[in-house]
Structure 1
Amino acid sequence: MPLHVVRPKILGFISEDVSAWLVAVLVLLAGSILTGLLAWSTYNLNQQQLRQRFQLLASERYSRIEERFQDQEQRLDGLRRFFVNSDHVTRYDFEGYAKPLLRRTQAYAFAPLVSRAQRADFEQAVRREGQPGFAIVQLNAAGQMEPAGDQDDYAPVLYSQTQSPLGSPLGYDLLAQPLRRATLERARVLNGLAVSPPMHLVAVDPAYARGVLLAAPVRRAQDDPSPQARPYGFVLAVISLRQLVADGLPASASDNLSVRILDLSTEGQHEVLYESNNLPVTSHLGASRLLRLADRDYQVEIRPSAAFLHANHSSLTSLVILGSLLSLLLSALLYVLVSQRQRALALVEQRTRELRSREQELRGTHSQLRSVLNAATQVAIIATDLRGVISTFNAGAEQMLGYRSSEAVGHLTLESLHLPQELEAWAHSLSQRYGKPIEVSRAMLVEEGMAGGHEAREWTLVRRDGSHLQVNMLATPVLDDQGLWIGHLAICIDITERKRVHEALAARDRLLKKLSAHVPGGIYQFKLDADGHASFTYASDGIREIYEIEPQVLQENAAAVFERIHPEDVQRVRESIRISAQQLSPWREEYRVCLPQRGLRWMRGAATPESLSGGGVLWHGYISDISDLKRVEEELRALSVTDSLTGIHNRRYFQEQLQNEMQRLERGGGEMAVIMLDVDHFKRINDQYGHGVGDQVLRGLCERIGRRLRRTDVFCRLGGEEFMVLCRDTNARQALVLAEELWQGLRSSPIAPVGRVTASFGVASWREGEGADGLLLRADSGVYAAKQAGRDRVQAELP
């Protein structure tokens, strides 16, 4: 084949005669220019994004610190109001209120204001209240506690709740130290919150010993509200800014920001109250803002850390390197392609001469190919010319159709071997499909897609004796060396026996499908290979309703079924399948499935396994929907533990829960209490208003008490007008508080038409080794004691 005289240009405008080196240099130069423009644009975008990310992080850190400052003020003000609104605050009350407030605060304390004349009596009173050895003390020069000196007033720490392992400095006189005295004086004058200058905190872990003191005066309702008046005392919050600010922040190595807090309240002296462990890096990024805590201003300075720059590093260098490499590689590739193309064109001329010399050799192999065709006795190979006249008829065709080669070659056509009705029907179908007439003689040779490869198709051939033969025939055109169409080649395989087997199998499948369609549920074969792969080798149409999955999907992989099983049941189902496979024991399970359309359903499955030769296991089984049965069981269970009148749990449910809770306590320890209540004068209500109103009163009582119980409490009706509350993780004192709340809520909410309904309450807490009867007897004794004492009351736990 001659080469084209006009050759296409490289890249559309470069002649092929140009040197490959020149093409490579031009491409490298263009790539370098594009890389530089892209790098400049990327650098500007990266700087803008870097500023935006830093401002976002800095604003979030400012907001967090400001929120924590405000939180400290609110907590201390709440502690102050607790003292103001209480007639008398005991140490137990203080610790109970202050302990939940200790988050990010070293300690909370209360210091009453004691005069010189009151000192001795005050110390004696505190010692009698359970603080032996209590005295008003102060720090000496060596940092040791010693008795406070003689002065007009003292502010000793009376109550303290701290998270420091060093304990509380009870008795420490806050007025003995100038900075603390000045802070308390400012709080008194402001009649509000005042914060101290930075100072060394007493009885605080050395890591958090540098901080501030937040104080507020406590004035009782009857005290003079003027700022000059003497307050009752002071409440204080001991704050370490390192703890307050750093709590909850990322580790130093991964924190993106470096924070420093300066105290600006002292003119000319800006002391650093807090500084992050991670040092700031040199950068043009930075932010500063003033925050206020009580009566002092603090300056918060935020700079980016090394972690910030590392997390937001620029990809400019990588981009330049990558762009340069790509430009270099592209130029090298074009150099190789251009040089290879020039060499390839030279080789084409050489190979063309070689191919022509081999053409003669191919002609010599033609006779050998004919011998091979005749040796294929199980396949009919028939070749025709363009008119359809048979030119080749091998030994397999003779044996399959009954014609001798001499009878077929030059005398018969391929069309004459086909069933006429079948060819006509196929030609008509093709004509309608392609919108143009298709000749009957060409119908067997037309491809279904009119383009692309050829596919085998089933045809009916007519033998020499007139009988019919089902074959699978592949018909393809025969081309010469120049690609011209010179004939056709048909290869036929006898499929009579195969079709008979397929028809028998199809009849069996139809029968099985009809049988399974009338069985509720699904019939299946489940296969588990040795490598763990699971699939359904057979699944009836009932599986579609069971799992809402097409059976064809499960034939490849059974994973979709396990995805439908409820998460709480899937592990149990997998384990039961594993045991059945190991022991070859029958498999039976009840489990839940979550379906897209029908929601949660209960299923029951059963199957019998058999071992396969390849190491896998095959189960033959049946699965059905038992949701209705499960629903009936749940309804019966609910009715058996529910009181029909009030709707709450009955005595049976209470006894079950009580036994379960006592078993739990005996195993792992803990606390539990019960509250028993009996409606006062309930017989009188029934006699005066009738039993219908009495039932209404019981339902109203259950509604009012149920609203005030916790979700973990178990509220039951024992019978008649007696009720019981089981309180988990509750001691006697907590149960007494709850009983009093229930009592107050019941007596303060009238029930129509009776009006106010009261009840007598008894409380009992579980004791180690005690049985259920003993616990209930003590609660019943409490109710009896409450009734004996006049009813409408709560009886604390009896000994």
Structure 2
Amino acid sequence: MNQPQLSDFNNSDLRIPKASDGQMVGLDHLPYGVLIADNKMLLSYANRGFSEMTGFSESEIIGRTCSFVQGEFTDKQTRDAIRVACKNGTTFQGEILNFKKDGTPFWNELTIEPMRNSAGQVEGFIGISRDITQRKSDEIARTEELLILQKHSQAAPAMGYQFRIRPDGSISFPFIGTASYVIYGFSPDEVKANPSRLFDCVHPDDSKRLWDSVLESQENLTPWIQDYRINLSGQAIRWLHGHSQPERESDGSTLWHGFVEDITQRKNFEEQIKQLAFYDTLTGLANRILFYDRLNQAMIASNRSGHFGAIICIDLDHFKPVNDDYGHAAGDAMLTEVATRLKHCVRGSDTVARFGGDEFVVMLSELSALNSESLAQAIQVAEKLLAALSADYSLIVKHDGMPDEIIRHISTASIGVSIFQGNQLDADQILKYADKAMYRAKKQGGGLVRIHE
């Protein structure tokens, strides 16, 4: 609501009234405080709005100066300005921190106007008060927010910003931190001149997701939080994290206040942790933990689709002599080569894992929905794996300060196959069946594929 003007009162109002005057009744219905004082600044009237604003009753107000709502933290310069204006018979307009009866502080937007008689002499004063605490809180919050934005903008690699989408869909950056050059390679002026620059460099695989999340935040006025990649010319792909809070403006625009920071190092660290937790450090294949997770997912998918999956357990024949005769470096080289060959024999949707030593497991998903056909498909892949692993090995072993050593080796593998459909069996049982078939192949001399019967 707008601050009322003293011109809203006619001349007959501008005299020193008594609280019993009938003309005062209307003032009690106004949504702001009205005070009237004599030329010594002693209050002779306060409307109901002022009493409700401060918590003081009319009897506690009449006969006092306005200083009773002032306190230790009321600005001294503002108090002095009020006294000077009243002494000189001039108008005061300003904001002052006052205190309610219970000690609660509130911000008062105050206008004090002198009332003069026909001779031009000041007979008293009329004041209009409005509680603007909420507005001041918003202003303080906005100031603190801007300071945070500026702090972020100066502390690379974080960039504070304000981003706006207008009702016509056009975009702008009213504020952009100086770290924009460090993060995006563009100065703040370049970004303001062409706001689309920051969206054009988003990785193609992340672009739609990023923009959809902005539109969702705009529609629901929910915080925008996203991790996404940018691809700058001549630089490695980098990860950014954005976090901002939207607000609707009076013209229908949406304005976000937030920051963007470079999280590439964090993402790389997370990836390293992921590698250590879910992947074999030597071969880069899935480890037992990740394999079980994917097997459980495959069982759920199989239960929905009705298609079979298969587990293929693999144990290398004649691997121990490599370690014994040439050392662990040669053994590691062979295991790495085995992993490469296995991956080349299966689809990207299949999983190849190393459980330890020379034991490998392959999971095939989305085979036929028919038992016999799916088993035939699994056996075909197993035979392909056996052929790949039976080819001669040329292992390159590196030695510090010495030429690389090339070791020739011939090996085969013992392979066991088990198919599954849905969750008729648990994961351990499926693996157990494939493992038993593999040991049967091993007992029969190796270099064989055997199925669970």
TM-score (structure 2 length as normaliser): 0.56
Corresponding residue for 1:760? 414
Give the C-alpha shift of residue 685 in structure 1. 5.5
Q: Deviations over 1:635-658 (max 9, x none)?
A: 322233332233433222322322
Cα 1:780–1:518, aligned 2, differ >3 Å: closer, same or farther?
A: same
Task: Work out the CA distance in 1 between the residues paired with 2:192 and 2:329.
Answer: 64
Aligned AA for 1:742?
A: L
Give the C-alpha shift of residue 678 in structure 1. 1.2
Aligned-partner SS, 1:678: strand
Aligned AA for 1:524?
A: Y
Give the C-alpha shift of residue 568 in structure 1. 3.2
Corresponding residue for 1:79? none
Give the C-alpha shift of residue 750 in structure 1. 4.8
Superposed, which structure 2 residues align to 1:713-732 within 5 Å? 713-730=350-367, 731-732=374-375
Superposed, which structure 2 residues align to 1:403-418 within 5 Å? none
Give the C-alpha shift of residue 696 in structure 1. 4.1
Superposed, which structure 2 residues align to 1:457-536 within 5 Å? 518-520=154-156, 521-536=158-173
1:665 paired residue among 302, 318, 321: 302
Q: Deviations over 1:413-447 (max 9, x none)?
A: xxxxxxxxxxxxxxxxxxxxxxxxxxxxxxxxxxx
Q: Deviations over 1:233-286 (max 9, x none)?
A: xxxxxxxxxxxxxxxxxxxxxxxxxxxxxxxxxxxxxxxxxxxxxxxxxxxxxx
Aligned-partner SS, 2:155: coil
Are 1:677 and 2:314 an aligned pair? yes
Aligned AA for 1:737?
A: Q
Q: Deviations over 1:155-181 (max 9, x none)?
A: xxxxxxxxxxxxxxxxxxxxxxxxxxx
Task: Work out the CA distance in 2 between the residues paired with 1:720 and 1:772.
Answer: 21
Cα 1:596–1:676, aligned 2, differ >3 Å: closer, same or farther?
A: same
Aligned AA for 2:239?
A: W
Corresponding residue for 1:702? 339
Superposed, which structure 2 residues align to 1:39-438 within 5 Å? none
1:613 paired residue among 227, 240, 250: 250
Task: Work out the CA distance in 2 between the residues paired with 1:568 and 1:551.
Answer: 26
Q: Retained in 2: the 8 A contact 1:548–1:596?
A: no
Cα 1:532–1:733, aligned 2, differ >3 Å: closer, same or farther?
A: same
Cα 1:787–1:550, aligned 2, differ >3 Å: closer, same or farther?
A: same
Give the C-alpha shift of residue 589 in structure 1. 2.1
Farther-moved stretch of structure 1 (603-612 vs 684-693): 684-693
Give the C-alpha shift of residue 692 in structure 1. 4.7
Q: Retained in 2: the 8 A contact 1:534–1:557?
A: no
Task: Work out the CA distance in 1 between the residues paired with 2:245 and 2:222.
Answer: 7
Q: Retained in 1: the 8 A contact 2:153–2:160?
A: no
Are 1:646 and 2:283 an aligned pair? yes
Task: Work out the CA distance in 1 between the residues paired with 2:326 and 2:341.
Answer: 21
Q: Deviations over 1:506-540 (max 9, x none)?
A: xxxxx999967632132222122233322111223
Are 1:561 and 2:204 an aligned pair? no
Farther-moved stretch of structure 1 (657-666 vs 750-759): 750-759
Give the C-alpha shift of residue 688 in structure 1. 5.8
Q: Retained in 1: the 8 A contact 2:150–2:177?
A: no
Q: Which runs of 5+ in 1 are unaligned?
A: 1-510
Q: Deviations over 1:106-133 (max 9, x none)?
A: xxxxxxxxxxxxxxxxxxxxxxxxxxxx
Task: Work out the CA distance in 2 between the residues paired with 1:565 and 1:728.
Answer: 34
Give the C-alpha shift of residue 717 in structure 1. 0.9
Are 1:784 and 2:401 an aligned pair? no
Are 1:545 and 2:188 an aligned pair? no
Q: Deviations over 1:594-618 (max 9, x none)?
A: 2234352211122233332222222
Task: Work out the CA distance in 1 between the residues paired with 2:221 and 2:343.
Answer: 53
Cα 1:529–1:742, aligned 2, differ >3 Å: closer, same or farther?
A: closer
Cα 1:781–1:620, aligned 2, differ >3 Å: closer, same or farther?
A: same
TM-score (structure 1 length as normaliser): 0.33
Task: Work out the CA distance in 2 between the residues paired with 1:681 and 1:767.
Answer: 34
Aligned-partner SS, 1:701: helix
Aligned-partner SS, 1:565: coil
Aligned-partner SS, 1:633: helix
Q: Quick one: higher RCO (CA 8 Å, sep 6+), 1 or 2?
A: 2
Aligned AA for 2:181?
A: R
Q: Retained in 1: the 8 A contact 2:149–2:259?
A: no
Q: Retained in 2: the 8 A contact 1:685–1:754?
A: no
Q: What is the aligned length?
A: 288
Task: Work out the CA distance in 1 between the residues paired with 2:425 and 2:393.
Answer: 38
Corresponding residue for 1:743? 386
1:634 paired residue among 245, 260, 271: 271
Aligned-partner SS, 1:675: strand
Aligned AA for 1:749?
A: D
Task: Work out the CA distance in 2 between the residues paired with 1:584 and 1:681.
Answer: 65
Corresponding residue for 2:74? none
Higher strand share: 2
Corresponding residue for 1:576? 213
Q: Retained in 2: the 8 A contact 1:536–1:557?
A: no
Q: Retained in 1: the 8 A contact 2:303–2:421?
A: no
1:602 paired residue among 239, 257, 267: 239
Q: Retained in 1: the 8 A contact 2:163–2:255?
A: yes
Cα 1:530–1:761, aligned 2, differ >3 Å: closer, same or farther?
A: same
Corresponding residue for 1:798? 452
Aligned-partner SS, 1:631: helix
Cα 1:514–1:725, aligned 2, differ >3 Å: closer, same or farther?
A: closer
Corresponding residue for 1:357? none
Task: Work out the CA distance in 1 between the residues paired with 2:366 and 2:387.
Answer: 23
Corresponding residue for 2:429? 774
Superposed, which structure 2 residues align to 1:19-34 within 5 Å? none
Give the C-alpha shift of residue 726 in structure 1. 1.7
Aligned AA for 2:419?
A: S
Q: Retained in 1: the 8 A contact 2:318–2:411?
A: no
Aligned-partner SS, 1:555: helix
Cα 1:746–1:609, aligned 2, differ >3 Å: closer, same or farther?
A: closer
Aligned AA for 1:632?
A: F
Bigger radius of gyration, 1 or 2? 1
Q: Retained in 2: the 8 A contact 1:603–1:627?
A: yes
Aligned AA for 2:261?
A: S
Identical residues among aligned pairs (%)? 34
Cα 1:742–1:588, aligned 2, differ >3 Å: closer, same or farther?
A: closer
Q: Retained in 2: the 8 A contact 1:589–1:604?
A: yes
Cα root mean square deviation, aligned: 3.1
